[in-house]
Each structure stands twice: as structure tokens, then as C-alpha cells.
Structure 1
Amino acid sequence: MTASNRLLVATGIFHPEAGGPATYLYRLLPQLQQHGWDIRVLTYGDAPVDGYPYEVQRIPRVFLPLRLWHYNRAVRPLLRWSDLVYAHMVDLPLWGDRHAPRVLKVVGDQAWERAVRSGWVSPTTDIDRFQVQRYSVQAEFFKRNRARQVRAMDGVIVPSEYLRRMVIGWGVAPEKVKVIYNALPPELERPTQTQTEARTELNLPQDAPLLLTVARLTAWKGVDHLITALKQVKDVHLLVAGDGPERPRLEQLAASLQGRVHFLGRVPHERILLYMRAADYVALYSGYEGLSHTLLESLYVGTPVIASDKGGNPEVVQHEVNGLLVPYVDVAALTTTLQGAFSGDTRQKLAANTHHGMERFYFERMIEATAMHLASFLA
């Protein structure tokens, strides 16, 4: 690959907006420049932001048909300019020149997300069942459309083996799908405080068993199951960091626990790490995770985790080594796991192994793997 190779990054969201894809690209692209890529970014966005070492063009989020038209008009000359297209969502209007190979990063199932958001399926619909079961006409249309777009790509990058299996289930050839694990950012710093000091700083009780969950409060995040299980687990307090549409229902469900569930609302990221240090465990009992940064960050901080066995969680959590995996949905099993987690020296043993397997999620490894894989399309 020479320094003249030109990479078009087509996305729907970009820095400084919040969200995993925006943050991922913001950290990745300067590293790809060091590998010789000339980069241009096309994204949706309502205001120009300067200061990037590459060109960023933003398309205003006007009403949908006009938004697609503006995006496609902007992308056409970029498609002719590029040697490779790296797309970060389906449904982008990349209509035009096809001389450059196209690679798509898939971090979830946009058809399932849209079906849940639009009310075409229940908010608790299992994402794995969604792949094989038939639903409404609208849901099936978006499932077919998503699969067609992904199959048309020259390559697909996913952040977990779980998502690789899902994408292959859409009819994508297995040899097209590459797993590159997401990584913790190199600038991430562990809290310097001890667990005792962290609890003091956060005004948390020193002697209470503490469980922390960090999530947007939606139905598939499973916070309701944690609260239900806690009714059978004495003395343990649950800290809930995050907000979302389920919060009123969750607060009502927790009302009988006599102040043992604490809703923190949205917490700044640097404070989340401090809460992780203060907690005995971080719990993520969700029905879907592609590859959870929350689990990675908790293990990096040194706090063991309790997670559902869904999605990419088993690729991060090694049962009874650095955490505990629990079948989903099985509130009885979750209750038993929580009881065992806070008894004896279980926590101490798990905490001693939180570093186990973390080398797979080093930032440098992700950069090298991504750069090499993208370059392979130009060989």
C-alpha cells in the first residue's frame, strides 16, 4: 500500500457526537493516517466542527428523503475519489461508482433495533429469535433489506465471534467476515483510589455489598431482572448508572427494596470508572451485547463482573475466572449466582484474575489488525 491510497469513511454519526461508532472512528482514523491512508469522512451532522487532520463533511439531519438526497449527492464524487470505502451503518445512500471495494463494520442488528423502536416487535423480543422467526411485514422488509446490503459488501468487520455468526446467518459468505475485537482507549486511566477511598469519595457505605450496573435503561438491558433477583438476596445494594425510558417502571419495581436500589442517572465517564472501583461487582444482565465496553472497563479497573451468557459476553467473561456468567433469562439462576458471589472469598478470587485475557483488547492490536485488513482489499 502506498501513501496515495484514499479511504472514504461513510458513517451516520461522528465525533463530537456521543456513541460507540463516533468514538471508535475518532480514535481509529489518526492511526490509519500513520499507516499511509488519505482519509475523508462523510457523516450526518447539524454543524461543522473543525480541527481534524482529515476532511470531514457533514450532511444536516433534515427530513428523511431530502437527507438521503443530500448525502448521496455528496458521496458520489467521494466514491469516484476513493480507493476503498469503509462504511459504518447500513441504509447509507452509497449509490454511485463501484470501482472501490466496500467494507462494512457491523456492531449490531439495525433491523432488530428498528423493529423494537418502531413497536413492530415487543421490547423484550430476543435478538437471536428475531433472526429466525417471522414477524410483521415491516420487520421482515427491514430484515431482508439489511441482509441484502451486507451481502453486497466486499468485506465485513465485526467486533465479536457472536456477531460473525449472526452476519453469516444473513447469507454473507464466511470468508468475507473478519472479527476484530474493539479495544479500550490507550488514554484510559485506572482510578488511583482504593475501593475504600472510592466509596468515601462517592459517599457510599463502606460495609455494604455493592453491585453496579451501567446501561441505558431499555427493556433488553435486564435491569428489572437484577432488581427482582435482589429481593431474594439480603443486604446487597444495587447502583444503577444510566437513564432511559424504562426508569419509571424500574423505580416502581424497586420501591419494595427499602432503599437498596439507587438510581444515579447519567454519570460522567471518569466517575463511572470510580464507581466501578467502589463496587464489589459490575453486573450486565442484558439480552443483547455485541461486545460490551462496560465489561472491558470493569475488568480493566480490577472489578469482577456478573453477566448474562448472551451475545459477545462469553468472549469477555471467563466463567469463574474473571467473572460469572448467568443464563438469560433465568432469574432463579441469577439469584443463586448473586448469593454465591457475595459469600466466602469468591470476590477476592475473581478480582485477582480480572486481567486474564485482556491482551485481546489492547488498542495497538486493534489498530494493527484493522490496518492490515483494510490494506488487504488493495492487494
Structure 2
Amino acid sequence: MRFLFVHQNFPGQFRHVSAALAARGHEVVALGVNRAEPIAGVRHLLYEEPKLDHKTAGRNPLGPALDELRTKVLRGEAAARAMQALRAGGFEPDVVVVHSGWGEAFFVRDVFPKARFVAYAEYYYGAEGGDTGFDPEFSSGDATLASKRVRIKNTHLLHALNDCDVALAPTGFQKAQHPAWAQERIRVIHEGIDTQRFRPDPEATVTLRNAKLVLRPGDEVVTFVVRQLEPYRGYHVFMRALPLLQKLRPNLRVVLVGGDGTSYGAPPPKGKTWRAIFQEEVQAQLDMERIHFVGRVPHTVLTQLMQVSALHVYLTYPFVLSWSLLEAMSIGCLVLASDTAPVREVIEHGKNGLLTPFFDVEALAHAAAGALKNGKKLRPLREAARQTVVSRYDLASICLPAQVELLEKSSL
């Protein structure tokens, strides 16, 4: 069979399944805009990212949403031109798999009307119990305007859901955010966690060069890992909890992994970063020598950091569940996480981790201090966390076979 994967940042969620299909003898082609490490058997082609000029933001309260939709349409058009070039060169895929989040799925049906179309349905905005309006600190005061913006934000996703034969969502929560009619065609299959790679290692070490410090299992280390240090992943809540946590546990060290950009939600005020804003808010109350911002780190270092962690804190709006949480659980971290819907799908309080209310700063600090104090008693939670991932999200035995089976099926 012939497979085409389309993802502006390929491989993204398609790394393992594209490699597996190539290894099984299928012809696999990928389209994206960014170069990546080669995957054996996968022909990775780049399409030209459209040049975007934002014309409406200053003239219309819906301007940002309209500009975003325009961006998605232009990206879909650019991807379609690349697909047309593939077709002109003789490549007619049996299956096209597209991440629907960036507009690349807009014109798949127009270029390849006979191919089976599989949409990766990562997130649908505005559903009850989701991220929209969750955090009043960063919510628009005009509910009607916010609703209009969300409606526009979902336009390209609706096109993909309407056109596809079947869709994939990684968690039940993410599937449930979609309209009822779309949920009927969404299969829940996670991308999978390599539980042999992400596992405990009592010999792991992490060197913090600037602090001239080596961390090892058994050290009182709290880890906080996100792609970007921003409100969607609870960075502001975590920082506000640190002054009390340091008073309760004066010898702990906190390591924060994440960039200074914005992946989700509104950007910070011009010229500032969310990291700096919330660090400055509490810095006078902190011993900064015991708080370590390490930026973005290689995945191997991130794994080692989780292996030495005494407590891993994960906070999120009701939104896409981070791979980092499942990786931390696979490693056997003691996890303290926000009591939000996507987290409750994988963590049961007191069974395989600990939950705390997202906005309750004092509760977070006390829960973290208690977890550090009772770390030895809570070891069964570490073991149960790993078992949860092994039994439900293991890449080799569960998730990858399910993905391959779905994509290879002659009828969906």
C-alpha cells in the first residue's frame, strides 16, 4: 500500500507509525515544512510554507481569529500544491493521514478523492469542560466575542472531520471535546510510550553545570516539565506555590524545563515572557539558588532528570495531555498533577499518583511537601504509575499495533 503523512512538523505524532509501515514494506511519503532526522524507508518531502501577512487584526475585534483562519487556508493550499506535485509524479496514495490542526487537511479530498482520509483529531475548541474560559485570569471579559473567535478557530477542524473516513484522537478526553456527530468516527489510540526507554534507573545522574551540582535518585528534587513556560500548563500556579513550598521544604531543589515562548493560549505582553512575568512576581520570596531554569533540554537529559526526580509536578488546563506526563509515569515518577479532566483519565488519586486542584496554590505547596516527606511510603504509587502506562499506553505491544491495524485495513 501507499501511505502519505502530512504534518507541518513531521514526524510529530506520526514518527512510530510511519516507520512501522515502512518496515512492513509499504511505500511511505511524508510532507511537512521542517527538516527532521531521516526515518528509514520514509521519503520526507518539504512544501513551501506560505508567507503570511496579518491584515485584519487592528481593524476588527475578530481580527486575530480571522488572521488565524486565513493562515490555515493558505497552509492548506500550500500543502495541496505539494500533493498535486506528488500526484503528477505518479504517487497516488491509498491512505492519507493528516494532522488537522494547521489547515493542511483543507484540500486533501480535492487532490486525492479516492484515497482513504484519516484525520488526526487532536483538539476541538469551545466544548463544555475544556480550556475555553477555564482560567479567569486570562479569559476575555466579552463572552460573546470569545465564542465567536472559538467558532472561527474550529472552522478548519470541521472541514477535516467532515471529509475524513476516520479520525484518531490520543485520549478519551480529547475525543469527547468534539461534536457528537464527529465522535462517531473518532478512534482513541494513543501514539504510545516506549516503556523500555522510559523506565526507572537508580544509577541516573544529572549535572547542573551552572550550579556545579550533580543530582541523583534520592535527592530532594522537584521537576516541572513543559514545552513552554506558560499558563496553559500551570506555570503561573507552580511559581506562586514555590515560596510556601520552599518554607516547608527548605532543602529541596526545583528544576524547571521549558522554553520562553508560547505554544498555547494568548502571548504575553509585548517584549515580555510568561516565564519572566511570573518569576518576577515571586522572586523576592524565593531562594533562587535552589531553583534551576534549564530551558529546553535533549530528550535523553529530560529522561535522566525524571529518573532522579523525587516529585514530578504536572499541571494543565483541560486540554491536550502532554507526552511528558506519561513518560514520567513510565519512568516511575511520583507524580503530583492537577485535578483536571485529561489528567483524571490516567491518574487516580492515591492509586498511581496524587491530584491537587489546579488553582489552589496553597494546596499544591502542601501536597508537594507532604509527598516529599512521605516519599518512601508512597513508593507503591510510583510502581502503579509505571504499570498504568505499560498496561494501557505501551508503544510496542498496544498502541503501535492498533495504529498499524487501523491504517492497513482495507475498509474503515
**TM-score with structure 2 setting the length:** 0.74
Is structure 2 residue 264 aligned with structure 1 residue 249?
A: no
Match of 1:362 among 375, 378, 394: 394
Shift of 1:103: 0.9
Do the aligned residues in 2 keep the contact of 1:101 with 1:377 (CA within 8 Å)?
no
User: Which runs of structure 2 are paired with 1:1-379 in the superposition (5 Å)?
Assistant: 5-14=1-10, 22-45=11-34, 52-64=40-52, 68-76=76-84, 78=86, 81-90=92-101, 91-92=103-104, 93-94=107-108, 95-109=110-124, 124-125=138-139, 135=146, 137-167=148-178, 170-185=179-194, 188=197, 190=199, 192-194=201-203, 202-204=213-215, 209-215=220-226, 216-233=228-245, 234-235=248-249, 236-244=252-260, 245-255=273-283, 256-259=285-288, 260-344=290-374, 345-358=376-389, 359-364=391-396, 365-376=398-409, 378=411
Residues 289-343 of structure 1 deviation map (CA, whole Å, 9 limit, x = unaligned) = 4232212222222221111122422222232122111222232432342233123
Task: Give the 3 Å change call, closer, same or farther, for CA 59–363 of structure 1 in structure 2.
Answer: same
Number of paired residues?
353
User: How many angstroms apart in 1 are the aligned matches of 2:18 and 2:400?
Assistant: 9
Secondary structure class of the residue paired with 1:318: coil
Do the aligned residues in 2 keep the contact of 1:322 with 1:350 (CA within 8 Å)?
yes
Do the aligned residues in 1 keep the contact of 2:329 with 2:386 (CA within 8 Å)?
yes
User: How many angstroms apart in 1 are the aligned matches of 2:215 and 2:23?
Assistant: 45
Long gaps (5+) in structure 2: 53-72, 261-272
Deviates more, 1:214-223 or 1:235-244: 235-244
Secondary structure class of the residue paired with 2:278: helix
User: How many angstroms apart in 1 are the aligned matches of 2:230 and 2:94?
Assistant: 40
Q: Which amino acid aligns with 2:301?
A: R
User: How many angstroms apart in 2 are the aligned matches of 1:231 and 1:48?
Assistant: 41
The sequence identity of aligned pairs, in percent, is: 21
Do the aligned residues in 2 keep the contact of 1:199 with 1:205 (CA within 8 Å)?
no
Q: Which amino acid aligns with 1:152?
A: D
Q: Which amino acid aligns with 1:357?
A: T
Task: Give the 3 Å change call, closer, same or farther, for CA 184–54 of structure 1 in structure 2.
Answer: same
Do the aligned residues in 2 keep the contact of 1:230 with 1:335 (CA within 8 Å)?
yes
**TM-score with structure 1 setting the length:** 0.80
Residues 252-280 of structure 1 deviation map (CA, whole Å, 9 limit, x = unaligned) = 13411122432122222211122212221
Residues 136-166 of structure 1 deviation map (CA, whole Å, 9 limit, x = unaligned) = 6444322244234323321110100000101
Task: Give the 3 Å change call, closer, same or farther, for CA 106–246 of structure 1 in structure 2.
Answer: same
Q: Which amino acid aligns with 1:226?
A: F
Task: Give the 3 Å change call, closer, same or farther, for CA 172–329 of structure 1 in structure 2.
Answer: farther
Residues 142-192 of structure 1 deviation map (CA, whole Å, 9 limit, x = unaligned) = 22442343233211101000001012xx34333301000221236625464
Q: Which amino acid aligns with 1:223?
A: Y
Residues 67-88 of structure 1 deviation map (CA, whole Å, 9 limit, x = unaligned) = 6544322213656812221111
Residues 205-259 of structure 1 deviation map (CA, whole Å, 9 limit, x = unaligned) = 9986321101111121112212222322312432111121311113213411122
Residues 6-27 of structure 1 deviation map (CA, whole Å, 9 limit, x = unaligned) = 222122122xxxxxxx243232
Task: Give the 3 Å change call, closer, same or farther, for CA 39–205 of structure 1 in structure 2.
Answer: closer
User: How many angstroms apart in 2 are the aligned matches of 1:231 and 1:7?
Assistant: 52
Secondary structure class of the residue paired with 2:30: strand
Task: Give the 3 Å change call, closer, same or farther, for CA 191–84 of structure 1 in structure 2.
Answer: same
Do the aligned residues in 2 keep the contact of 1:123 with 1:219 (CA within 8 Å)?
no
Task: Give the 3 Å change call, closer, same or farther, for CA 349–202 of structure 1 in structure 2.
Answer: farther
User: How many angstroms apart in 2 are the aligned matches of 1:205 and 1:69?
Assistant: 50
Q: CA RMSD in A?
A: 3.4
Shift of 1:287: 1.3
